[in-house]
Amino acid sequence: MCSETSVAKRPSREEAEEAVRTLLRWAGDDPDREGLRGTPDRVVRSYGEFFAGYQQDPADILRRTFEETDGYDEMVVLRDIRVESYCEHHMVPIIGVAHVAYLPRRRVVGISKLARVVEVYAKRLQIQEKMTAQVANTIQEELDPLGVAVVIDANHQCMSTRGIHKTGVSMVTSRMLGAFRDDPITRREFFAMIGR
Ligand SMILES: Nc1nc2c(ncn2[C@@H]2O[C@H](COP(=O)(O)OP(=O)(O)OP(=O)(O)O)[C@@H](O)[C@H]2O)c(=O)[nH]1
Ligand SMILES: [Zn+2]
């Protein structure tokens, strides 16, 4: 479990469902009418999915690595990883894609694991800058590669379905470490690989 879970005791499921009933009443509806009777249970189960990342340690995901690569030392890029996250200010979706690259030092990791690291951080309440940095930092710390690059390109529903109501706006964030930060050629190659 992550340090973000070092909050006070987790409320019970019943307390969480009661909170949903309160919100339904606050919205102006009757939580006891037929159509809403199962809603607190459904919402709590949905929140279990949306915020599953608090129960997982992303470092664990990168533990298994492979060293038999016959000296492969070029960058590995995973493009267009779908991101479904939740804005920590409004608790509404942030939907987009992540591109993750690293330059192996000796070891490589199963490619699904890079997408899993993105998933763990996405399934928490986030701001995009922090999520981008967390993914890059974790890969750097666990794999000790020559460099890591993470770009996230996402739409924030808190900007499109409420507030300023601007659709079609995407936010692009990046975190470059090691060779991706220091070497302009490596950086350019990465941006070319992800089509930017
Ligand atoms: N930097 C950053 N800002 C975000 C992100 N997600 C949402 N926001 C912004 O967080 C800000 C929160 O601002 P507040 O003024 O506290 O909230 P608000 O009154 O609901 O603001 P509006 O969204 O402008 O209506 C808003 O400007 C959001 O657009 C993110 O991932 N990164
Ligand atoms: Zn928001």
CB-CB contact of 61 with 116 (8 Å): yes
Residue 53: DSSP 8-state = G
What residues have CB less than 8 Å from 139, skipping those under 6 apart? 62, 100, 102, 114, 117, 145, 148, 150
Instruction: Mention the CATH class of domain 3-50.
Output: mainly alpha
Closest atom of ligand 1 to CA, residue 156: 6
Question: Candidates 84, 89, 157: which one to mutate for ligand 1, based on the most atoms within 8 Å of Cβ?
Answer: 89
Cβ of residue 128 lying under 6 Å from some atom of ligand 1: yes
Cβ of residue 89 lying under 6 Å from some atom of ligand 1: yes
In 11-75 the beta strands, taken as DSSP E runs, fall at 65-66
Cβ of residue 125 lying under 6 Å from some atom of ligand 1: no
Per-residue pLDDT of the chain (196 residues; tens, 9 = 90+): 555 655 679 999 999 999 999 999 999 999 999 999 999 999 999 999 999 999 999 999 999 999 888 888 899 999 999 999 999 999 999 999 999 999 999 899 999 999 999 999 999 999 999 999 999 999 999 999 999 999 999 999 999 999 999 999 999 999 999 999 999 999 999 999 999 8
pTM over 0.90: yes
CATH, domain 63-193, list 3.30.565.10, 3.40.50.970, 3.40.1410.10, 3.30.1130.10:
3.30.1130.10
Domain boundaries, the chain: 3-50, 63-193
What residues have CB less than 8 Å from 94, skipping those under 6 apart? 83, 84, 85, 86, 87, 126, 128, 154, 155, 156, 157
